[in-house]
Amino acid sequence: MACEAARGTEKPEKPGFVIGFLLGQEAIWLSESLRILREEAPDVEITLMTKSSPELADGLMQGKIDVALLRRETQTAGLAFKFLTQEPLIAILPARHRLARHRAVRPQDLARESFISTARVAPVLRTVIDDYAVKERIPLKQNYDAETLSGGMSLVASTGGFTLLPLYVRNALIPSVVARPLRGEVPTIDLMMGYNKSNASPLPKRFLLRADELVNRVSQGGAYSRSLKRDDRKLSV
């Protein structure tokens, strides 16, 4: 009887919610995401997960992640996506590279450089880059394929090559590389909010309904907005 009484006084387990971000995106989106989640469900226990976009998609399909900010991956059975924003791509170069002296990089100047691919970790990004290269008639001289985005930046620094990554990586640059905007018509990649349609919890759907508010708040005063403004100033010089 005493054991039963003790069990009866135990606190019920808090409901959990797992939100996933591309590594580095949490610096831009986490604060406002947490604000909305706390307003919608003050007692929920929130877990943050940062992974590559394919890994986030797998986590959503397996029910391990409730909502994720990711790319629209191709193999995503049962997932639904809502468009959030378009991110411009930027050139990542060694800090001492000759092109690093320029405020912005012409796509034609990249044609002679070694390209560091991140196709394994970011297949959607690679598709965008390939389309851009075809449009600008840039032959991509690929010698390396990085396992991670940070590994790609390390390869840029050690080999003297370059890579193209979304603007948000400016928040996670290693000291030996620099980011430069591209001149001309800049390629972009879509950032989506994804969730599993079979998820029975009402919180993902309530969070999804406030996605526009999330984007507006981030664009008005967040790190992403400041990065965009910095690049706009550089391109206007």
Please give the average per-residue pLDDT across 27-53, as a whole number: 95
Q: What is the pLDDT of residue 231?
A: 44
Contact partners, residue 93, CB within 8 Å, separation at least 6: 99, 100, 105, 156, 162, 177, 178, 179, 180
Please give the average per-residue pLDDT across 103-124, as a whole number: 92
pLDDT tens for each residue of 192-212: 999 999 999 999 999 999 999
Domains of the chain, by residue range, sit at 2-85+191-236, 86-188
pLDDT tier at 109, thresholds 50, 70, 90: very high
Q: In this structure, how many other beta carbons lie within 10 angstroms of the beta carbon of residue 230?
A: 14
Beta strands 188-196 and 67-70, pairing class? antiparallel
From residue 102, alpha-carbon distances to 83, 93, 105, 162, 235 in Å are 33, 11, 7, 14, 11
Distance of CA 219 to the CA centre of its chain: 15
Domains 2-85+191-236 and 86-188 share a fold: yes
Q: Which CATH superfamily is domain 86-188 in?
A: Periplasmic binding protein-like II (3.40.190.10)
Q: For 224, list phi and psi in degrees, rounded to 5.
A: -65, -45
Answer for the pair 173, 93: CB distance below 8 angstroms, yes or no.
no
pTM of the model: 0.84
CATH of domain 2-85+191-236: 3.40.190.10
What is the distance between the alpha carbons of residues 72 and 215, in angstroms, rounded to a whole number?
A: 17
Q: What is the pLDDT of residue 222?
A: 52
pLDDT tens for each residue of 44-57: 999 999 999 999 99
pLDDT tier at 230, thresholds 50, 70, 90: very low
